[in-house]
Amino acid sequence: MTSPATYPMPELSGRKFFMNFPPTEQSHSLHDYRARGGYQALEKALKELQPADVTKEVLAAGLLGHGGAAFPAGRKWGVIKPNDGEDHFVCMNADEGEPGTFKDRWILEYTPHLCLEGLILASYAIGGRHAFIYIRGEFDLPFRRIQAAVDEAYEAGLLGKNILGTAYSLDVVVYRGAGSYVCGEASAMLASLEGRKGWPRNRPPRLTVKGLYQKPTVVNNVETLANVPVILNLGAVEFKKTGTPKSPGTQMISISGHIARPGVYEVEYGYSWEKFLYEDCGGMQGGKALKCIIPGGVSTKILNAQEIKGVTLDHNSAVAAGSQLGSGGMIAVAEGTCMVRLARVIQRFYHHESCGQCTPCREGMGWMERILDRIVRGEGRPEDIDRLYRISNANDGTTICSLGDSAGYACTAILDHYREEFEYYILNGRSMFDGRLAVDDPFDGAVPAPLYHGVAV
């Protein structure tokens, strides 16, 4: 059985909304969640507030989406009229698949009732009778924990007919995906929920107009929904005192790669990026210097050590620095890492995950990967660099979803910063850094004792 991901609870200054309790083997249970004040917001909303009041409070709090795009959650909800007699749906996006991002997993494993309460509140706000939790197929423990939370909620009268004795009823389905990154894109997710392959679709019409089963649908990230009970408990005014005026609240940051203390952290928006990296996360493995950061999942443009100087962890600051905070999935890369091989790993991912619907993405991803493969094999050609830029440009804005754009940006941002590494590799047929990716490889020099007498790689 899989154990929950364990990281030391980080001691960061600032307010915490999620990581404000000691995680234990039972902290995911309804009993423990209620002991932390859980479901008080739901009780208050169902008994004292009209659906539109819930939306108003979320809008007033300025809650931004935590899935990557940072679109205001209240504005998304506000499009739907709760009493128009139509079916409306809310879908929690728990398809956490962006490389480098694993913060929703922490919420699902340790406090699943928090996001479930947020889902029920969102459904109440838009007048939904059915809601869905779309969780990535590979997530076994998070699935079992959120399913157990749903089952507990049904038993406790927090889901099903006449919740908490009120007129409001809601059914929730935990829907497990089957392995596809693109299903994290909202329209692809809905296609998957309808039992089809996860192809994104053109918008407009927006999903809040025609979404799941052609009905108005809101898709929100796990962390976004987890913020909703917090907002209703604190009130929008108090919530807005946290973070920055344009990015209120906190952000779960998952950090990995060559960092001394990888894990999940919660920071108030506006927190110093350098302090976070060099003090809270302990700097780089083995005391190395920072080469660059992938800020918010591989779909966001890399920034080098100079570019994060004075930058704070909030959306505006990250955009001003030339990238995005994205989903808060940060990957640290230490000096001495071969960026050509790293670019190839990223491109392999995008090629693997392209759904194949749009020609520029389907063909472009494979083409870019083949070029990078050739360079890594020592068979690069001088024209390859320009070709990579050209293919990336051809993808930009020509595909239905942003997977094609992101893949191009990821590769060209590395080229912009480390072009000399590519030129050296092409000219000399080898890496400037011996093709190194791991700083401290636990398998370096390890000789496997064969269990079977087959062909070893």
Partner 1 sequence: MTGPMNNIQHLIPEFERWKERYPAGFEGSLTIPCLRRIQEERGYIADSDIDELVAYLGVPRTQVDEVLGFYTMFTRTPLGHHHLQVCHNVSCSLRGADGLLKYLCGRLGIQPGETTPDGKFTVSTAECLASCGTAPMMMVNEAYHENLTPAAVDALLEELTK
Q: Which of residues 334-353 bind partner 1 (CB under 8 A)?
A: 337, 342, 345-346, 349, 352-353
Only one residue has tokens 């398809």, namely: 95
- Which positions from 277 through 336 interact with partner 1, judged by CB under 8 A? 294, 298, 329, 331, 333
Number of H helices and E strands in the chain, helices first, is: 16, 11
- Which positions from 93 through 112 interact with partner 1, judged by CB under 8 A? 96-102, 104-105
Q: How far is the CB of 57 from partner 1 (least distance, A)?
A: 28
In contact, 45 and 54? CB cutoff 8 Å? yes
Applying CB under 8 A, the span of 116-124, 192-200, 224-232, 389-397 interacting with partner 1 comes to: 192-200
Residue from the set 44, 197, 210, 417 that interacts with partner 1 by CB under 8 A = 197
**Residue 72 lies near partner 1 (rule: CB under 8 A):** no
Q: How far is the CB of 309 from partner 1 (least distance, A)?
A: 23
Q: How far apart are CA 340 and CA 332, in angstroms?
A: 16
Q: How far is the CB of 138 from partner 1 (least distance, A)?
A: 5
Amino acid making up residue 292: C
- Which positions from 212 through 241 interact with partner 1, judged by CB under 8 A? 213
Amino acid making up residue 443: F
Q: How far is the CB of 179 from partner 1 (least distance, A)?
A: 4
Q: How far apart are CA 206 and CA 101, in angstroms?
A: 26
Say if residue 316 is exposed, middle or buried (CB neighbours under 10 Å; 0-12, 13-18, 19+). middle
Nearer Cβ to partner 1, position 114 or 331? 331
C-alpha dist (Å) from residue 272 to 267, 275, 303, 317 = 9, 5, 15, 10
In contact, 339 and 414? CB cutoff 8 Å? yes
Structure tokens at 365: 């991803």
Say if residue 42 is exposed, middle or buried (CB neighbours under 10 Å; 0-12, 13-18, 19+). buried
**Residue 86 lies near partner 1 (rule: CB under 8 A):** no
Q: How far is the CB of 427 from partner 1 (least distance, A)?
A: 24
- Which positions from 420 through 449 interact with partner 1, judged by CB under 8 A? 437-444, 446-449
Task: Using only the alpha carbons of the chain, give its radius of gyration.
Answer: 23
**Residue 7 lies near partner 1 (rule: CB under 8 A):** yes
Name the CA dihedral angle for 95, 99, 100, 102, rounded to a multiple of 10 degrees: 20
- Which positions from 147 through 186 interact with partner 1, judged by CB under 8 A? 171-173, 175-181
In contact, 56 and 287? CB cutoff 8 Å? no
Q: How far is the CB of 129 from partner 1 (least distance, A)?
A: 7
- Which positions from 237 through 276 interact with partner 1, judged by CB under 8 A? 254-258, 262-264
Binding mask 372-411 for partner 1 (x = CB under 8 A): ----------------------------------------
Q: How far is the CB of 14 from partner 1 (least distance, A)?
A: 20
Q: How far is the CB of 298 from partner 1 (least distance, A)?
A: 6
Q: How far is the CB of 396 from partner 1 (least distance, A)?
A: 22
DSSP bridge pairs for 290: 334
Q: How far is the CB of 244 from partner 1 (least distance, A)?
A: 26
Nearer Cβ to partner 1, position 127 or 262? 262
Ramachandran region, residue 292 (left: φ > 0; alpha: ψ -120 to 50; beta: rest): beta
Binding residue count for partner 1, defined by CB under 8 A: 81
Best CA proximity match to 38, nearest among 223, 230, 242, 220: 230
Nearer Cβ to partner 1, position 58 or 342? 342
Nearer Cβ to partner 1, position 232 or 410? 410
Nearer Cβ to partner 1, position 64 or 332? 332
DSSP code, position 279: I
Nearer Cβ to partner 1, position 382 or 445? 445
3-state SS, 184-226, equals HCHHHHHHHHCCCCCCCCCCCCCCCCCCHHHCCEEEEEHHHHH
Nearer Cβ to partner 1, position 239 or 433? 433
Q: How far is the CB of 100 from partner 1 (least distance, A)?
A: 5
Nearer Cβ to partner 1, position 61 or 146? 146
C-alpha dist (Å) from residue 266 to 243, 299, 385 = 12, 21, 39
- Which positions from 124 through 143 interact with partner 1, judged by CB under 8 A? 129-130, 136-141
Nearer Cβ to partner 1, position 68 or 270? 68
